[in-house]
Amino acid sequence: MAASPAKRRRGHDGSAIVTLVVVGVSHRTAALDVRERLMVGAADLSATLAEVTQSTGAREAVIVSTCNRTELYLAGGDEPTPGAIELMSRRLGESAEPYTYVRREREAAAHLFRVAAGLDSMILGEAQIQGQVRDAWELGRSASGIVLNRLFQSALGVASRVRTETALGRGAASVSSASVQLAKQIFGSLAGRRAMVLGAGEMAELALECLVDEGVRTAVVANRTFERATALAAKHGATAMHVDECWAEVADVDVMLCSTAAPHPVVRAAHLEAPLARRGDRPLCIIDIAFPRDVEPAVRELQNVYLYDLDDLRAVVAANIERRREELPTAEHVIAEEVERYWQWVAGLHAVPVVTELRASAEAMRAREVAQVLRRMPNLSASDREAVEQLSRALMNKFLHEPSVRLKAAAANGRGLAIVDAARYLFGVGSAADATPPSEGSPTESARDTTSTDERS
């Protein structure tokens, strides 16, 4: 359950100051039907972003919404969590709180970095999420700002580093990609090969996409419902056929992938004997990813036929997932490095305005004091008056140099935000002149308050 944090930094009006929050629902916390109702499509993204900023009071917002997650990334403004959960509840038609998780500040940044790198995916290390994160940010740029723009740029950089510096994305980790990997073991390369796909459902389409990505030259989509075969074939430049008319094509294809919803075998040995006779010694790779199986066991006995079923594919997937898990420590190290780099930049955003206000306040004070002195010394020459001005400026700059440098440096470590608040109070800059001194806990404790995390996992 997403609870309100016990202690948070407070603005001078008493409201909570929020740098970064993510409120989300994912495959780890909610079933598919819940995620479907929360999903935000491209068509209503702009309207939903406007609703998010209005409901939460956040100054910046980005929505990442896929089949596995819907997450609201929010920056600036007062505490946005209640408004975000209320908005999700309206969209869901029931309370979304049991399904939501909330991560704040550093943990929010780390979460997005893990998402973009595929560490939080249903299939560990899957690459598709990186593009989905990029699309979410680019399509929602109207509601994002400096904090979220930098966050998403960093997340995409993290994903690229993880993919480059680790083996997390290597090896097939889904049934569809495993199918293609097994076919490549037979042919070495699929570039220029011909493939036939039986079925037109989601798994068939994913497999066809993998085959096309590997350079398959010509593809045939065969299905009992010809309209569905036509629709899928049109998306990928393939030829559509009715399944009863496709057997002659087997003589010319290299890979046959079977993924129908039939309750009984669709591919029988009798269907293949004649086309196999015309193939000569060319191998035929048949990959059966249907459940129940599409291909009768007798097909395995046919000469030059290599038949793989789900058990074969799951063994490949399991082995590759285990190899990917071995890369997790390296990937997490990359993420930790990039979170620290990003958070140093965020903390610096808090320090820069204070340094600017401090210098502006000091300059105003210097100018007033110098003006008073010069009025009492009307006989000074122009060069002497200029010397007084230069001396006062030099002294001011020397006095402020070390505090300015140290304040910016402090903003880059774990205590930055608390020290920024202390500086506002001590130097009386901005609206902090009348503020209550920061007396709750040590600077380190105050900084920890800003990075508290509420999660539901």
* pLDDT value at 445 more than 80: no
Instruction: Render pLDDT for 64-87 as a digit per residue (tens, 0 to 9).
Output: 998 789 999 999 888 899 999 999
Contact (Cβ atoms closer than 8 angstroms) between residue 420 and residue 447: no
Residue 256 maps to which CATH number? Answer: 3.40.50.720
| Same-domain status, 254 and 337 | no
| Same-domain status, 164 and 180 | no
More confident residue, 107 or 450: 107
Residue 134 maps to which CATH number? Answer: 3.30.460.30
* pLDDT value at 454 more than 50: no
| Same-domain status, 248 and 258 | yes
What does each C-alpha distance from 28 to 99, 121, 205, 210, 314 come to in angstroms?
A: 9, 9, 25, 26, 22
3-state secondary structure of 215: coil
Q: How confident is the model at residue 180 (pLDDT cuts 50, 70, 90)?
A: confident
Alpha-helix runs per DSSP H in 376-415: 382-411
Q: 172-176, 222-226, 286-290, 342-346: which has the minimum mean pLDDT?
A: 172-176
| Same-domain status, 59 and 133 | yes
Q: How confident is the model at residue 11 (pLDDT cuts 50, 70, 90)?
A: very low
Tell whether 86 is covered by a domain.
yes
Contact (Cβ atoms closer than 8 angstroms) between residue 72 and residue 48: no
| Same-domain status, 363 and 436 | yes
Instruction: Render pLDDT for 390-437 as a digit per residue (tens, 0 to 9).
Output: 999 999 899 888 887 777 776 655 455 667 777 777 877 755 444 445
Q: Is the peptide bond before 378 cis (omega within 30 degrees of 0)?
A: no
Mean pLDDT for all residues in the chain? 85
| Same-domain status, 182 and 276 | yes
| Same-domain status, 299 and 353 | no
| Same-domain status, 269 and 281 | yes
| Same-domain status, 337 and 374 | no
User: Residue 126's closest CA among 140, 134, 116, 135?
Assistant: 116
* Sign, CA torsion 361/365/367/368: positive
* pLDDT value at 310 more than 70: yes
| Same-domain status, 230 and 252 | yes
Q: DSSP assignment, residue 44?
A: G
* pLDDT confidence of residue 447: 35
What span, in angstroms and rounded, lies between the C-alpha atoms of 97 and 24? Answer: 10
What span, in angstroms and rounded, lies between the C-alpha atoms of 131 and 206? Answer: 16
| Same-domain status, 48 and 145 | yes
Q: How confident is the model at residue 446 (pLDDT cuts 50, 70, 90)?
A: very low
Q: 149-153, 203-207, 318-322: which has the minimum mean pLDDT?
A: 318-322
How many Cβ atoms sit within 10 Å of the Cβ of residue 439? 7
State the catalytic residues.
67
% pLDDT > 90, the chain: 57
What span, in angstroms and rounded, lies between the C-alpha atoms of 79 and 14? Answer: 11
Instruction: Render pLDDT for 367-380 as a digit per residue (tens, 0 to 9).
Output: 999 999 899 998 99
% pLDDT > 70, the chain: 87
More confident residue, 345 or 57: 57
3-state secondary structure of 57: coil
What span, in angstroms and rounded, lies between the C-alpha atoms of 110 and 342? Answer: 10
Tell whether 6 is covered by a domain.
no
* pLDDT value at 438 more than 80: no
| Same-domain status, 151 and 50 | yes
What mean pLDDT comes out for the span 319-344? 91
* pLDDT confidence of residue 306: 95
* pLDDT confidence of residue 333: 96
Instruction: Render pLDDT for 20-62 as a digit per residue (tens, 0 to 9).
Output: 999 999 989 998 789 989 999 888 999 999 999 999 999 999 9
Tell whether 390 is covered by a domain.
yes
| Residue 98 token pair | 């049991």
Residue 400 sits in which domain range? 349-450
What mean pLDDT comes out for the span 88-92? 96
Tell whether 117 is covered by a domain.
yes
How many domains are contained in the chain? 3
* pLDDT value at 322 more than 90: no
